[in-house]
Amino acid sequence: MKHILCHYCKKEIKDRDELVTASNWFRLRPFHYVCFQKKESETSLSIKSWKPVNGTTGNISAALMLLLALWMLFTDSLGAVGDLIGIIAIYPVGLRLLSLMFIELTLPKISPDKTR
């Protein structure tokens, strides 16, 4: 089984309960929930901050972006500018799917260690 290592402390992430996947431009990295908060407080003043991709907020924004992308790409709203907005909007949706496929689904929902 593939091990998911936290980008901050380099230790293994055992389940989806403690996982935060975050994106920073074109990078997608897994973090522990606590490590992500530490990381966030360190970089809050910087534009290079990491944005969480999973969780409720990530799901809602990915869904909204998908709607926006479909609307812009499949209608004539705003013409060529609309197509461009659609392509930009599809990017966070792609990230959400990548996070789901390559990180979240490789982890158990709750680590077996915790149920004991």
What are the residues binding Zn ion (CB under 5 A)? 6, 8-9, 32, 35
CB of residue 6 to Zn ion, shortest distance in Å: 3
DSSP element (H, E) containing 67: helix 55-74
Which residues are within 8 A (CB) of 51 and not within 5 positions of it... i.e. 6 or more apart? Answer: 22, 23, 24
* Both structure tokens of 35: 């490590």
DSSP 11: P
50 or 89: CB nearest Zn ion: 50
CB of residue 35 to Zn ion, shortest distance in Å: 3
Contact present, 33 and 26 (Cβ < 8 Å): no
6 or 95: CB nearest Zn ion: 6
19 or 89: CB nearest Zn ion: 19
Overall size of the chain counted in residues: 116
CB of residue 22 to Zn ion, shortest distance in Å: 12
